[in-house]
Structure 1
Amino acid sequence: MVAKIPASGKGLSQRTGSSGGLVAYLEKEVQGQWFSLEREDVPAAEVTQTLDHNKRNLNRDADKYYQVILAPSQTELRHIGSDPEKLRAYTRAAMEQYAANFGKGIEGRDLVYFAKVEHERTTNHQDRAVQLGDMEKGEAKEGPQTHIHVIVSRTENLARYSERKQASELDRKNPYHLSPLTNHKNTQRGVVTGGFERKQYSERVEQAFDQAFAYERPLTETFRYAHTMQHGTPEQCAALQVQAIQEQQRQVERQAAVQQSVSEQRPQLPGPVPAQGQQPAAPLEQPRPALTPTIEQAPAPERQRVRGPRM
């Protein structure tokens, strides 16, 4: 599972204006079918309007929204059959983790976000196959490529903020501005408290998938393993590799034990069932061993004593 939050930049990566450009781009595969925390099939025009109006006290050059990309692996997709309903439920669970990861005590309903499931991906200049010349840029990738795009407002849900404010549930003057690209991580002092730990978020969405779909994730498929292999020391990499080998050996031993147990408990096949009104066939007699015939031996002939002539 890859949870990616692209940085702001030029073109569609520019986050300081309207979200309309990104929303229109994500209509390329299929129109509509946007969903939020509580709604399905939200029109694209409503997505843009809702995101663009959920802002307060942000400078002109400040980011107004962010994008979260959730990309399950092909093994994970096969585990859930690429079921769109399960992917939508998982997306909502991942956005609960997104809210919790800011450390401000907020929930998914304190966010304004819309998501869309896509089933196709094409190559770009960053793909290894393109760099090696094996594929052209823009070619469709093979195998299951289902993934989710989420557009989330930087400002917390203003409608819910106002309701809680009127109900005296909040004593803060302004709504939260939530940036997953902040450099603050669980800060306790200063102007900014909380923050966003992107590494922790990747681990949390991975665990959310495993818990939701009872997925037994091998060590080699974890974010911790991939991150350590890329950024860890040689000693850390070697230790994880040994741990992965030991895990694979235990898995092989468990599978062998299960197969042996099944073979031992396999019931004997019953005999043929007699037709209605028919007497059950008598059990077949076991063949008796052939008897070796006894051959009576003829008595040995008596020896006659022959006397010689008298001298």
Structure 2
Amino acid sequence: MYITITPHKTDGNYAQSSADFVAYLEKENEGKAIIDQEHFFNQYGEEITGAEVIKEIDGNTAKLKKTEPKFYSITINPSQRELKQLQDPKKDLKTYTRELMKDYAKAFNREIHGRAVTVEDIKYYAKIEKVRTYKGTDKQIQENQPYATKILQLKHDIREIQAGRLVGNVKTIENKIAQLEKEAPHQQNGKRIVRGMPKEGSQSHIHIIVSRKDISNSVSLSPGSKHKASEVTMHGKSVKRGFNRDAFFATSEKTFDSVFKYKRNYVETYQGRKTFLKNPKLYFSVLSGLPTNEKATAYKLLSKSGVPIMKIPTNKIQLAIKVINKLKQGLDKAIQSGSIGT
């Protein structure tokens, strides 16, 4: 499970309207019959139109400055292993979203009229998408790039030859291009993986637009707060503030596991990934101490996700910094692409 929370920006500035983002989320509906389209939903409603989402989000920004986010984007990216646990993906992902938004509300260390924030205070709209495409940050694109560069140059040479500005044999160059296409390390269905190509397999994920202001348009609820859960004194009164991201990310996994009876491996956990990035030695110590079956599953998951699995170090001498950095780089990419657990 890979979850992100980001303030929505356009050209480096905070978006003043959700219109462009909503249009982006509607792209998968293009050319589809109404019955096959995915619509927005929230905690209590279904079949919500994009126009209604724009109206509700854009109309819920009282007293917010141009320099402040009007809304946030939350993406929920289950791994293919997690998706396989679902009986009815569309229905189950909606159920999970609604449970996760309860966790989101609980992560605020705020009070509204003397009570804790609840999901009833959150104005949000969610949408399921079924397609993911390869981006420039994906490992497959980066490792295919040297071949892509050579192919682009050869195609340029062909155009120059055809225009009479270069001497050469077009057929020979076309054969070189065909060979490079085959030699590229990452292929999908017999074709070189390129940017924009849809990823194969189950790729369902969820996008959520959540308003910065609460449902009453009177209280600011920022998950991007620089303050962790804490209390400060303002005007002689103790005021709670902050959003606990760690708690939200960790709880979101437990919620999924509880709702769908999913047995999460250590390498799939938020705490495990966090431990690896901060303390690789402790990470491998925990990994090596797992029961045999769980350890085998852990190595299998890491290997499938693209992490370079070498002989796992078992003592401080073997735990060379070069090895750690190489493994860390691989895990970083796997986490960002949401591929741990594929």
* TM-score normalised according to structure 2 size: 0.64
CA contact (8 A) 1:16 1:61 kept: no
Asked if 1:113 is matched to 2:115, the reply is no
Question: CA offsets, 1:117-170, max 9 Å, x none?
Answer: 0110001111000000132111111111100000000000017xxxxxxxxxxx
1:177 aligned to 2:176?
no
Asked if 2 retains the 8 angstrom alpha-carbon contact of 1:15 and 1:66, the reply is no
1:198 aligns with one of 211, 233, 245: 245
Q: Does structure 1 retain, via aligned residues, the 8 Å contact 2:14–2:66? A: no
1:202 partner letter: F
Q: Judging changes above 3 Å, is the alpha-carbon distance between structure 1 residues 10 and 244 closer, same or farther for their aligned structure 2 residues?
A: farther
Change in 2 beyond 3 A, CA 1:249/1:141: closer
Matches within 5 A, 1:4-43: 4-11=4-11, 15-30=14-29, 31=37, 33-43=39-49
Alpha-carbon shift at residue 103 of structure 1 (Å): 1.8
- From the CA coordinates, give the structure whose radius of gyration is larger: 1
* Cα offset, 1:32, TM superposition: 5.3
Q: Match for residue 243 of structure 1?
A: 289
Which of residues 56, 60, 71 is equivalent to 2:62? 56
Who is 1:233 aligned against?
A: 279
Do the aligned partners of 2:39 and 2:127 also contact (CA within 8 Å) in 1?
A: yes
Please, which of 198, 201, 214 is the counterpart of residue 143 of structure 1?
201
The structure carrying a bigger strand percent of its residues is 2
- What is the alpha-carbon distance in structure 1 between the residues aligned to residue 38 and residue 84 of structure 2? 25
For structure 2, the residue ranges without an aligned partner over 5 or more in a row are 30-36, 111-115, 145-185, 187-192, 298-342
In 1: Cα distance, 2:49 partner to 2:261 partner:
33
Contact 1:16 1:62 in 2 (8 A): no
**Equivalent-residue separation in structure 2 for 1:118 and 1:110 (angstroms):** 25
| Aligned partner (choices 127, 134, 138) of residue 123 of structure 1 | 134
CA distance in 2, matches of 1:158, 1:67: 20
Partners of 1:126 and 1:7 lie apart in 2 by 20
Structure 2 residue aligned with 1:222, among 256, 269, 275?
Answer: 269
* Cα deviation 1:219-266 (Å, max 9, x = unaligned): 12111112212x222431222212335562799xxxxxxxxxxxxxxx
Deviation at 1:26, TM superposition (A): 0.3
Partner of 1:169: none
Equivalence for 1:2? 2
The AA in structure 1 aligned to 2:21 is: L
Structure 1 residue 82: Cα displacement: 5.5
Higher relative contact order (CA closer than 8 Å, sequence separation 6+): 2
TM-score by length of 1: 0.70
The count of corresponding residues between Structure 1 and Structure 2 is 234
Query: 2:85 corresponds to which letter in structure 1?
Result: H
Hey, what's the Cα distance between the residues in 2 that align with 1:130 and 1:7? 27
| 2:229 aligned partner | 186
In 2, are the aligned partners of 1:119 and 1:147 still within 8 Å (CA)?
Answer: yes
**SS in structure 2 at match of 1:237:** helix
- Cα RMSD for the two superposed structures: 2.1
Could you tell me which amino acid in structure 1 is paired with residue 10 of structure 2? K
SS in 2 for 1:79: coil
Runs of 4+ in 1 over 6 A off after TM superposition: none
| Corresponding residue for residue 305 of structure 1 | none
Report what 1:66 is aligned to: 72
Change (3 A) 1:117 1:8: closer
Q: 1:249 to 1:112 in 2, by over 3 A?
A: closer
Percent identical across equivalent pairs?
Answer: 32
Confirm or deny: 8 A CA contact 1:103 1:186 kept in the other structure.
yes
Number of the residue aligned with 1:308: none
**Is the contact made by 1:125 and 1:137 (CA closer than 8 Å) also made in structure 2?**
yes
Alpha-carbon separation, structure 2, partners of 1:119 and 1:77? 11
Task: Indicate the SS of the match to 2:241.
Answer: coil
Counterpart residue identity of residue 235, structure 1: K
SS in 1 for 2:207: strand
Describe the superposition over 1:161-189 as per-residue Cα deviations: whole angstroms up to 9, x where unpaired.
xxxxxxxxxxxxxx321111111111111
Question: What is the deviation of 1:42?
Answer: 0.4
CA contact (8 A) 1:220 1:244 kept: no
In 1: Cα distance, 2:259 partner to 2:202 partner: 20
